[in-house]
Amino acid sequence: MNILNQFDYYAPKTKKEAMELVKSLGDKAKVLAGGTDLIIMMKEKMIKPEAIIDISELSELKGIVCEGGKGARIGACTTISEIEFSKELAAKYGALTYAAGELGSNQVRVMATIGGNCCHSSPAAETPTSLSALGASVVLGSLEGERELPIEEFILGNRKNALELGEILVEFILPEPEKKSACRYGYIGLRDAMEIDAVNMAVNLVLEQDGETIKDVKLVMGSVSPRPLISEKTPALLKGRKLTEELILQVGEAAQNEAKPISDVRASAEYRRDVVGALARRLVKEAYEAAKEA
């Protein structure tokens, strides 16, 4: 029987109170938002915190605010389900809402939070890949103040992030999408059911005013490296050029060469490399065509 270890439970009423608890309890405590990862790790005896700080009811850390021309802000305790069904986010950040809708089951999505999904820092997590492609940053808060980091600098590796003692993840900031741009997200798993992705990927592509020449592109791969892997070769191949079938093939090969997958119970490293090539070819083409219509 999986029985949780004994721990002290705290439910702060304000963000400031949560920060005071995080600072005073230090590494003895774990922060709980949705708990869909934390509780499982506790049941499996992977961690045994002496205290739990429950921030799930803090309204200061919830909500979605989209402003025309100013991007969006998402509270760290906003649930994945709220993101999935947000019409405001879907209008400008469809890659994120689609990724959110592919995370776990309905039951998981109504509990899990975007902050928890990123703090858990699983290499196969759905939201960090799309957030990174969209240029998102995180705001980390403590009693001493706040600091902002790009999402790819926040996630340091498998279950490792840049949170320092006394800090909590407060919110996500997404910039306004550029004109003539489009972002697409895709993934591949081994069966049509709730699962952890074998590979996921997001591509954000921006065109010049002529609507055909590629101005910029960001391709981000998940589940092929300990942290979201940003392609360096894709921009070098595509910037300043119009997309052709030959270029699409080259992008697939470049992404495969950059991927650093491992073999595990979900897929072999060889299979993951093949999937990376297929996703890169498809998503670059889809993003290009969508940007032409933007």
Do 18 and 32 have their domain in common? yes
pLDDT-based confidence at residue 190 (cuts at 50, 70, 90)? low
On the question of pLDDT at 197 being above 90, the answer is no
Domain of residue 24, CATH code: 3.30.43.10
pLDDT of residue 76: 97
Do 68 and 170 have their domain in common? yes
Residue 267 covered by a domain: yes
pLDDT-based confidence at residue 189 (cuts at 50, 70, 90)? confident
Q: Which of 31-40, 56-65, 71-80, 203-212 has the lowest mean pLDDT?
A: 31-40
Do 42 and 71 have their domain in common? no
Domain of residue 77, CATH code: 3.30.465.10
Residue 276 covered by a domain: yes
pLDDT of residue 2: 66
Rounded CA-CA distance 291/217 in Å is: 11
Do 157 and 214 have their domain in common? no
pLDDT of residue 15: 96
Residue 180 covered by a domain: no
Q: Which of 59-73, 152-166, 183-197, 231-245 has the lowest mean pLDDT?
A: 183-197
- The fraction of the chain above a pLDDT of 90, given in percent, is 80
pLDDT-based confidence at residue 261 (cuts at 50, 70, 90)? confident
Do 154 and 223 have their domain in common? no
Mean pLDDT of 55-77: 95
Do 216 and 261 have their domain in common? yes
Residue 240 covered by a domain: yes
Rounded CA-CA distance 105/119 in Å is: 19
DSSP E strand boundaries for the chain? 8-10, 29-32, 51-54, 64-67, 71-75, 137-142, 145-150, 155-157, 160-161, 168-174, 181-188, 199-207, 214-222, 229-230
Mean pLDDT of 25-45: 92
Q: Which two tokens stand for residue 38?
A: 């934390």
pLDDT-based confidence at residue 68 (cuts at 50, 70, 90)? confident
On the question of pLDDT at 265 being above 90, the answer is no
Per-residue pLDDT reduced to its tens digit, 280-293: 999 999 999 999 99
Mean pLDDT of 148-163: 95
Rounded CA-CA distance 22/144 in Å is: 12
On the question of pLDDT at 11 being above 60, the answer is yes
The answer to whether the Cα torsion of 169, 38, 66, 133 is positive or negative is positive
pLDDT of residue 106: 87
On the question of pLDDT at 198 being above 90, the answer is no
Residue 189 covered by a domain: no
pLDDT of residue 192: 54
Mean pLDDT of 95-100: 97
pLDDT of residue 195: 56
The predicted model scores a pTM of 0.93
Do 153 and 241 have their domain in common? no
On the question of pLDDT at 109 being above 80, the answer is yes
pLDDT-based confidence at residue 127 (cuts at 50, 70, 90)? very high
Structural domains of the chain, count: 3
Buried b (16+ CB within 10 A) or exposed e, 5-29: eeeeebebeebeebbbbbeebeeeb
- Boundaries of domain holding 22: 8-54
On the question of pLDDT at 73 being above 90, the answer is yes
Averaged pLDDT of the chain: 93
Q: Are 158 and 222 in contact (CB under 8 A)?
A: no
On the question of pLDDT at 271 being above 90, the answer is no
